[in-house]
Amino acid sequence: MNQKSKIAHRPPRSLPSDHKRRENTPASFLLFFLAFLSLSACRTWQAAPYDFPKPADTSDQPVAMPEQKTWQAGSVFADNRFPAARLNDFRQEDDSTFRASILPENTPVNPSPWYAFRLWAEQEQDIRLVLDYTHARHRYFPKVSRDGKTWEALDSSRFSMLDTEDALLALRLSPDTLWLAAQAPAGARQVGQWCARQSLHPAVQWDTIGRSRLGRALWMLDIGEGKPRKKPLIVLLCRQHPPEVTGWEALKFFVDEILADDETARAFRQQYRVLVFPLLNPDGADLGFWRHNAGGVDLNRDWAYYRQPEPRQVADRIVREAGRNHSDVLIGLDFHSTYKDVFYTNDETETPPSLPGFKDRWLSELRAGLPEFEFKESPSNVGAPVTKGWFLTQFGAVGMTYEIGDDTPPEAIEQKGRASARVMMRLLEKER
Ligand SMILES: [Zn+2]
């Protein structure tokens, strides 16, 4: 698709200019004013559909809703009765070996086998626990907790692979609950608590902009100081994919820096506005899904059709905020997790964004500032209907999928998250 037709998809920013030729009588002013009012009132801000080169079928697919249950196998118990839990079956194989069955919400599905459940025993005992996934090979190194709040990686001497697919854990159980999960769970409740804390900052407004398929809130933090009119927009998205908790950790540090009490951050908040959508798939997160929403769809393939309620409402809200405030969307960052740290970017030679070269300056400053870390970039042309291409086609914005590795250490996530926000603010200061 050529540049002209892409621009035609962008929301109109102003009224047609032929009114300039009319006579400036009070009556014509009044007519113009009334026409403007009715246009503004009638306008429904909707993200434009778009023909991406690699289409995706994002129509509803059936999902298996998890059954909340407590299992007893001999003197050992397991349960999945908490948000973000995932355990589909639990049984005893021999005296000391137990098997936990972990299934996805539907198939085909990305191999991101999320699990989260609790274990306890009548008396203290050592067990061998097989994590059996059926539809994927083991991916997430186990995290353990005694209270469901503070998590740490399982001692590596207690972990091995049973075969090429399934993991084998050596665990000591007792009547006290042991929590076991792919990553420290971050369901809607945790994200809501974080939003509530952020909203205490005077530059933050916390809104519910819509509802997920099953009725959970879709939240937006609106960050900025002063009037939003004509302020350029930066948009941050997170958790289209429920298991991708390390991306969520990076987003929190990124927002921390934007809200910092210093000269750079204050000046940035006065000149720019940031919209944060911290949990795009709250149903999937709370139901312990591997990838999809409650419509059984990968939400990050729906940013052209908006068949699923979550992309539909978030995309429309971004278009509306940009349109009614006459704001340009400059940057769209979508936080995810994958096997390694990498930035998926748009190849800018085909369609340059309104800040050409910005991502290269950003990445090179990040590399210079944190030489001990890798900042890999993987550029590609607009292909599948994912958010990085959507930001470019809808707004001419720099679009990026900000991937944090599944096993990136917490300190590295913090440093990278903070530095990315710092460098972005400094570079945007120069753009003004
Ligand atoms: Zn993802």
Q: Return the SS3 of 246.
A: helix
89, β-bridge pairs: 101
Average pLDDT over residues 318-333: 98
CATH 3.40.630.10 fits 188-431, yes or no: yes
Supply the angle between the helices 410-431 and 245-258 in degrees, to the nearest 10: 40
Between 102 and 24, residue with greater pLDDT: 102
Q: How far is the CA of 202 from the centre of ligand 1 (A)?
A: 31
Distance 400 CA to ligand 1 centre (A): 12
* CATH code of the region 70-181: 2.60.40.3120
By the CB criterion, residues less than 5 angstroms from ion ligand 1 are 241, 244, 336
pLDDT tens-digit map of 123-158: 999 999 999 999 899 999 999 999 999 999 999 999
In degrees, rounded to 5, the angle at the alpha carbon of residue 251 between the alpha carbons of residues 341 and 397 is 85
**pLDDT tier for residue 350 given thresholds of 50, 70 and 90:** confident
Cα 239 to ligand 1 centre (Å)? 7
Residue 333 alpha carbon to ligand 1 centre in Å: 12
DSSP string spanning 133-185? -SSS---SPPEEESSSSS-EEPPGGGEEESSSS-EEEEEEE-SS-EEEESS--
- Residue 12 pLDDT level (bands cut at 50, 70, 90): very low
pLDDT score, position 263: 97
Distance 409 CA to ligand 1 centre (A): 18
| Percent of all residues in the chain with a pLDDT value above 70, rounded to a whole number | 90
Reply yes or no: is the peptide bond before residue 113 cis, omega within 30 of 0. no
Give residue limits of the domains in the chain.
70-181, 188-431
- Mean pLDDT confidence for 300-317: 98
Tell me how far the alpha carbon of residue 241 lies from the centroid of ligand 1, in angstroms.
5
Predicted confidence (pLDDT) per residue in 79-115, tens digit: 999 999 999 999 999 999 999 999 999 999 999 999 9
Distance 236 CA to ligand 1 centre (A): 14
CA of 336 to the centre of ligand 1 (A): 4
Q: What percent of the chain has pLDDT over 90?
A: 87
Q: How many residues does the chain have?
A: 432
Q: Which residues partner with 274 through β-bridges? A: 223, 234
Rounded distance from Cα 244 to ligand 1 centre (Å)? 6
Whether 344 and 378 have beta carbons less than 8 Å apart is answered as yes
Span 192-234, pLDDT tens digits:
999 999 999 999 999 999 999 999 999 999 999 999 999 999 9
What is the average pLDDT value for the chain, to the nearest integer?
92
pLDDT at 96: 96
pLDDT of residue 18 exceeding 90: no
State yes or no: pLDDT of 335 exceeds 90.
yes
For the stretch 260-291, pLDDT in tens is: 999 999 999 999 999 999 999 999 999 999 99
Residue (of 332, 334, 423) closest to 373 by Cα position: 423
Give CA–CA dist 126/342, Å, rounded.
39
